Structure 1
Amino acid sequence: MKNKNLLSIEHYAESFGTNKHKPKDYIKYLKRCVSLKETYISNNDEENAKRCLLLESILQIQHNYLKTYKLILKNKHDSAWSCIIDIENEIELIKPYIEVDFAKYKLDIVKDKNTKIQTLFPYTLFFSAGYTVGNYRCSICGEVITLRHRCNHKKGQIYNGRWCFWIKENITNFDHVAVVTNPKDKRCIPKEFNGKRFDFSVVDELVIHIKRPYLNWDLKWSKLRHPHDLFKDVKETDYCPCGSDKLYKDCCLKESGVLRPHVDFDFGQGFSDNPNIIKYHYPKSKDNVSAFKSDMQGIIMTMK
């Protein structure tokens, strides 16, 4: 039989995305969950300790999801991005344990929206540090992990309410930072690009129209023709703004417009077969960067 406190935490997590859910109660339920987990750990109740650990992650995912949109509205895009990646990592960690209950806590929706909103951010390059790890140590038993010796615990598994992970020790030879497109940690982002600020107009355009709990929206990407008038500064012998690596005169100049990315926003009414274009998105000034290279400049937005 489940503890009443445990049931109340589960009911709170299940209410996410409904009018019954009260975000201000997050800290109260999180503290209750952590306290209950420690009690189960002390009593060697592994099953309930594991349940509390997973609920702890679920509450944090839901909280960070709501927090992401608030941070974007406050123009704290770097912090919002960190929340987005935290959500992504946490979902991947707990999903094998809660496949049956995934939809019950709206995590299927959170995962979908969290993946899609990433496509609206201008980040395409990330930092990756190069260093040497002397050894790893198991977080559960404390044994040193080597090529020839490993303990019986496995990374990413739960043991009596604790995650097993490897602790890096004796880190040396911190010799370089690489710029990569597919990093292990997508939170390692540049603040500027070539001395210019990033442009977040596209993600801002989405978020300002969404109301809490930020679940009832969708987007899809395609490509549409932009009027040639928007490319008056591009010469016929320049590379085509569509990014094809062909000359403008040999590519889109022969067409009705330049083929550029298009994002269609839907707020619950469904996508239109013939969308009405409401905005051609370009950087507001030369100080803001989204750049043709990242496919974020010249985006057409449609809302329904």
Structure 2
Amino acid sequence: MNLEQIKNVLKNSHSVKNHEVLKTDLYILKKEAIAKKDEAKANEIWCLENINEIQLLFINAFNNLKKREYYEAWNDFSNIDIKLIYFRKHQVYYTDEYNLLYIEEYSRKFERLFPYRLFVSRETIIKKQKCSICNSEISIRKSCIHTLGELYMGEMCLRIIVEAQFIGAAIVEDPFDKYSVIFPQDLEYNYGILEELLNRLETPYEKWDLTVTKRIGERFINARRNALCPCGSENKYKYCCKNTQKELINHYDIKLNQNRSNNPILRYKEFGTWK
């Protein structure tokens, strides 16, 4: 396929098979552009390669959710986040010609339905790094002619970590590295709300609306001020969880596409993190 044919496929295809074929076609076309020293074309193909990878990741994430392979789907969505961070500066991103805005919106929606709340965050000191384009060593006092994040002959300039020192790790709620989910021993995550949604979705590009609100959990609704707190702390409720974030729980309202043939309804569910 030529570039125009590839662009048309990227605008319309939801098939894993098509995206896999495009990987090979784009690789060949970029190799030809590099051989001709056509940097503009090589850079354009880099953008199309990444669009193809992002679309493929989104389809794979949906398929993994359907197969109940939740952590695999989570990693797919995390990969989408990372790729979009580097891709946003390119003008083609700011239109939805290739469904990138849709993929970003719905990846975040799906992520909000996961029960993962705690992650490991590592602390390291980077001792040595180099430029991915020219392999020059980069430091505070030493740089090269290439700009981080810019494209050069079909490749993005990145920093390759050559040497790093591990300092420590912390348990956090909002990590940069979303892969590092904590899976406590003898506890099983509750994916109930994802299961409810995936039972009703047929394709990854089916629209649905999500509203998340904070409300008092059921065990706190009838709690008395001077009684023991329902959380089990053995302190009085008024000195423990009353009027704090601890007594609130997420409530999810999911509204399916009104054009569905199976009569979509407003879904209201409340699930704890653990089964």
TM-score in terms of structure 2 length: 0.83
Aligned match of 2:87 in 85, 94, 113? 94
Moved more, 67-76 or 100-109: 100-109
What is the CA–CA distance in structure 1 between the aligned matches of 2:142 and 2:169, rounded to whole Å? 31
1:126 CA drift (Å): 1.5
Aligned match of 2:53 in 35, 56, 60? 60
Cα 1:229/1:92, change in 2 over 3 Å: closer
Cα 1:212/1:251, change in 2 over 3 Å: same
Aligned to 2:144: 151
1:215 CA drift (Å): 3.3
SS state of the match for residue 188, structure 2? strand
**Structure 1 residue identity aligned to 2:91:** I
Let me know the Cα RMSD of the aligned residues. Answer: 3.1
**Structure 2 residue identity aligned to 1:212:** T
Q: 1:189 aligned to 2:181?
A: yes
**Structure 1 residue identity aligned to 2:253:** D
Cα 1:276/1:240, change in 2 over 3 Å: farther
Aligned to 1:261: 250
What is the CA–CA distance in structure 2 between the aligned matches of 1:211 and 1:144, rounded to whole Å? 49
1:239 CA drift (Å): 5.2
Aligned to 1:285: none
**Structure 1 residue identity aligned to 2:255:** D
Aligned to 2:271: 281
1:269 CA drift (Å): 2.6
What is the CA–CA distance in structure 1 between the aligned matches of 2:167 and 2:248, rounded to whole Å? 43
Cα 1:220/1:250, change in 2 over 3 Å: closer
Cα 1:146/1:250, change in 2 over 3 Å: closer
Q: 1:41 aligned to 2:31?
A: no
Cα 1:159/1:149, change in 2 over 3 Å: same
Aligned match of 1:199 in 187, 190, 193? 190
1:116 CA drift (Å): 1.4
SS state of the match for residue 2, structure 2? helix
Aligned to 2:204: 213
1:98 CA drift (Å): 2.9
Aligned match of 1:14 in 7, 11, 15? 11
What is the CA–CA distance in structure 2 between the aligned matches of 1:280 and 1:136, rounded to whole Å? 46
What is the CA–CA distance in structure 2 between the aligned matches of 1:205 and 1:248, rounded to whole Å? 37
Q: Which runs of 5+ in 2 are unaligned?
A: 260-264
Q: 1:139 aligned to 2:128?
A: no
Aligned to 1:222: 213
What is the CA–CA distance in structure 2 between the aligned matches of 1:165 and 1:105, rounded to whole Å? 25
What is the CA–CA distance in structure 2 between the aligned matches of 1:22 and 1:195, rounded to whole Å? 38
What is the CA–CA distance in structure 1 between the aligned matches of 2:181 and 2:93, rounded to whole Å? 35
Cα 1:155/1:193, change in 2 over 3 Å: same
Q: Which runs of 5+ in 1 are unaligned?
A: 253-257, 283-289, 292-296, 298-304
Moved over 4 A (4+): 224-232, 248-252, 275-280
SS state of the match for residue 142, structure 2? coil
Query: Does structure 1 retain, via aligned residues, the 8 Å contact 2:93–2:100?
Result: no
1:265 CA drift (Å): 0.8
Q: 1:71 aligned to 2:60?
A: no
Cα 1:219/1:165, change in 2 over 3 Å: same
**Structure 2 residue identity aligned to 1:219:** L
Aligned residues, how many?
Answer: 263
What is the CA–CA distance in structure 2 between the aligned matches of 1:181 and 1:229, rounded to whole Å? 24
**Structure 1 residue identity aligned to 2:159:** W
Aligned to 2:262: none
Query: Does structure 1 retain, via aligned residues, the 8 Å contact 2:254–2:268?
Result: no
What is the CA–CA distance in structure 1 between the aligned matches of 2:50 and 2:92, rounded to whole Å? 14
Cα 1:81/1:227, change in 2 over 3 Å: closer
